Amino acid sequence: MSIKYNADTKTFILQTDNSSYLMKISRYKNLLHLYYGRRIKDEDLDYLIRLQDRGFSPNPNEAGNDRTFSLDFLQQEFSTSGKGDYRSPGIELVNSDGSRIFSGKVSSYKIYKGKYCVKGMPSLRAVSKDKVDTLEIHLKDKVTGVEVILGYSVFEEKDIITRTARLVNNGKAPVRLERLMSATVDYRDSDYDLIYFSGRHMMERGFNRVAVENGIHSIGSTRGTSSHQYNPFAIICGKNTDEDRGDCYGYSLVYSGNFIFEAEKDQYGQLRVNMGINPAGFSFVIDEEEEFQAPELVLAFSDKGLTGLSHIYHDAFRENLCRSPYSKKQRPVLINSWEAAYFDFDEERILNIAKSSVDMGVELFVLDDGWFGKRDSDDCSLGDWTVNREKLPDGISGLSEKIHAMGLEFGLWIEPEMVSENSELFRAHPEWCLRAPGRPVTRGRAQLVLDLSREDVCEYLIETINSIVEDARIEYVKWDMNRSISDVWSGLFDKENQGETLHRYVLGLYHIMDEVILKHPEIIFCGCSGGGGRYDPAMLYYQPQIWCSDNTDAINRLKIQYGTSFAYPVNTMESHVSVCPNHQTGRTVPLNTRGIVAMDGILGYELDATKLNDEEKEECRKQVEFFKKHYSLISEGDYYRLTDPYSDRYVCAWQHVSKDKKKALVSLVITDKEGNDCQRYLKLKGLRSDTMYKVSGIKGKYSGALLMSAGIPVSCELREYESQSIVLKAVREK
């Protein structure tokens, strides 16, 4: 098995193909962290634990007169609370006597084959070929009877360790949980950098790399969703770690609500990392014999640099996370009506756009916002999911039939989690909204948020959405969510339980998706929250692709898609070619470049096809043809970032390499141009050194070693914002 317990050293050893994770039970039954990194043998690591008398570091009662043992400086697997460890804790709770102490000691453990279960939340699953083992360690507070059960599942061949924590109240009185991290990882040193991904609406997942300094560096969300501002993914890496070499540790939280990631460098130069549900505004009353489970955290280690870490996550998320059968199928190339028509359309206009897109090679037409209620703007009718017969006299089913008659599939936009005050739903059920009594509401995009912590709201939405997707022939649904959550108060709870609302909202959302998305595997569900405001692993569990950003500007997308690629596979990024001048930035970029950038994801179009001339339609048709020809390479191959758009102002380039390394696709965009410009070269990656390749546009054949060491020249004929795709094929030697 990949997990074993050494009774002589009281050590747990977790092994993947290329990493090891070790922890041990101390003499006082504390669970101490020993090691996480490159794979090592099962050795006695006790020598790493250095005990000494440190001033102002208190000693637990069971240590007696031993002043050298203190939780204030020892590396722990899951911290206590209120017992002398002053670093950021893994748990905070209020006991029935008002104390805020949790002193968890190892009481038992269990090792078994297969994956642990996360109740009510998405998580990775084992597929048939996986070797997965699980360890559960019980930490019990003998005074209160409260237990925290730490779960570890080891995906041996994937180099993944998943973690969760579950609090069980085996005491005789309720406790109030105010913080429960999915995992804590303590490092002996702190000579690391922290990489995280920040942004805003229309500029998501920007790359940040900072040195770990004294104190706590914290990122997270309090917006009710994982957010545009910070992504629930972070990397701890060595100072010299780059794309191709060096140690790095990935932290990816499978959760769509408020989260926190903390990197704390303590007084002794050690590093503690915590990740889990954001404790801000969070509290949960756990009654006797009840429990609370933290969402799953996906840990990965690579000694092959940031690219190696990305490959671990890409493979695991493609194979072990997404439940949609479309994660392994070729997705149709779509055209969406939003930037073409916004709210201003009728059936004739929609049919004309769809008909014109056929010549472009498009396979799926998506009707976006504006088809229901009195929805001529974004300030009314959300929640009234009945067809606007003035716009669509034959309804959605009639429109779908006409679209299918053109040879296209049909898709539809919905935003089920929201409601307009000017709607029949709000007038019938004002109590279904998140809003505090006696206070004026806070609006976002003229919307209020439905209270998904309520079972009646969830069941209404399940019935409503299922009726929409079952009453017409629909192959695709864009599921949107267009505001951050505020005014958090639910009429369902009393004042002691209001802190549960946002987490219960997320659980309600997952329940709805279980009953809608998982019950309709024949439909592609695309995630969206104003673009990339809820781009997280939990959404990928349900939705094989997510609208990467509302920003369709190809040059801005280079940075957005670059940051996204560190954790998320290319075949999860929905990316569209839009009109120029671009609606968000006003920039004009060649159609070829817009296509090449959009093909670094799931290709689609976001424009009015009736306004394209024959030459432009033909160029789009060739883009679709090229994308479909290389779909498996783009979607399933290994991804390499050849340049960094934050440091290289001249060229942005990336590469897809097939798993057998027989094919590769290099894409590049000129992002700046100078007169009498320098000759630049791209050093390729991921090829076989001893294999000869033909390179499109270059005569002859060249070894992978040469192409990776000397590179290929970037054409000086390319102008600013122009681009190029280069295909490599292995040559069979005679």
| Catalytic residue positions, numbered | 480, 550
In angstroms, the CA 495 to CA 20 distance is 46
506 φψ region: left (φ > 0), alpha (ψ -120 to 50), beta (else)? alpha
Q: Token digits for 433?
A: 């909204």
In angstroms, the CA 602 to CA 583 distance is 20
Helix (H, G, I), strand (E, B) or coil at 174: coil
Q: Token digits for 172?
A: 């005789």
Question: SS in 3 state form for 237-303?
Answer: EECCCCCCCECEEEEEEECCCCEEEEEEECCCCCEEEEEEECCCCCCEEECCCCEEECCEEEEEEEC
498-537 as b/e, with b when 16 or more CB fall inside 10 Å? bbbbbbbbbbbbbbbbbbbbeebeebbbbbbbbbbbbbbb
Count of Cβ atoms closer than 10 Å to residue 692 Cβ = 17
Which one, of 681, 687, 707, 704, lies nearest residue 638 by Cα? 687
Count of Cβ atoms closer than 10 Å to residue 82 Cβ = 16
Cα distance between the two ends of the chain = 44
Helix (H, G, I), strand (E, B) or coil at 203: strand
Q: Which residues contact 98 (CB under 8 A, 6 or more apart)?
A: none
Treating both helix axes as pointing N-terminal to C-terminal, what angle do 591-598 and 554-564 enclose, rounded to 10 degrees?
A: 10
Which one, of 506, 509, 507, 500, lies nearest residue 282 by Cα? 500
Q: Token digits for 130?
A: 């996986």
User: With contact defined as beta carbons under 8 Å apart, do 195 and 237 qualify?
Assistant: yes
Question: SS in 3 state form for 598-613?
Answer: HCCCEEEEECCHHHCC
